[in-house]
Amino acid sequence: MAVNLVGDRLPCGHDIDHLWEHLVQDAPDEHARSCEYCQAALTEIRPLRTAISVLAAEPVRPPADLHAKVMAAVRARMAIAPRITLPGPAGNRLVISEHAAAIILRAAGDTVDGVRARSCRLPPDAPEMGTVTDLKLSISLRFGMPVLAAARAVRVAVRTAARAQLGLTLGRIDIDVVDVHTA
């Protein structure tokens, strides 16, 4: 007997998902054991359950060249990312991506209550600027916050993080309020 479903239910009203769970647990309930519709559905879906079990039991073997492909993609992405040279002690230098520096500075802006930092941009010539660079930061303010006070607090937080975490001295910090939020 072919079983026609109405939505996810058999003609007897039993849910096909519950029937599947009974099949997985190998413990059909009293109704499923005695109902012709449930028995017919179990007969139809049992081969599918068997096939799924066989596939799930097979070990997964990644392609032999997976590691090489992933590392090639990582290297390709790293090569295109703009880099910033940070000052280091005794002539040593540290090079990080502009994206990594922007994340640190944007997170600093987020520490100001009522502010959500949106984007952070260092000028295109930042890698050649040494330890002094400018910054553009867009933010969202909580409704009712005084804009000038929030901008001052963000500048202090970002300037402090730039110095403490990156060793950068920020020059001009342009803040663009791009949105207002309520919570």
Quick check: 115 and 150 in contact, CB under 8 A?
yes
- How would you label 46-60 residue by residue, b for 16+ Cβ within 10 Å and e otherwise? eeeeeeeeeeeeeee
pLDDT value for 18 = 84
Q: Where are the domains of the chain?
A: 16-57, 96-181
At residue 3, the pLDDT reads: 54
CATH level 3 topology of 96-181? Alpha-Beta Plaits (3.30.70)
Q: For 83-136, write each residue's pLDDT tens digit.
A: 777 776 776 777 788 888 899 999 999 999 999 999 998 876 665 445 578 899
Q: Which pLDDT belongs to residue 129? A: 47
Look at residues 69, 61, 49, 159 and name the one whose alpha carbon lies nearest to residue 151.
Answer: 159
What stretches in the chain show pLDDT beneath 50? 1, 128-129
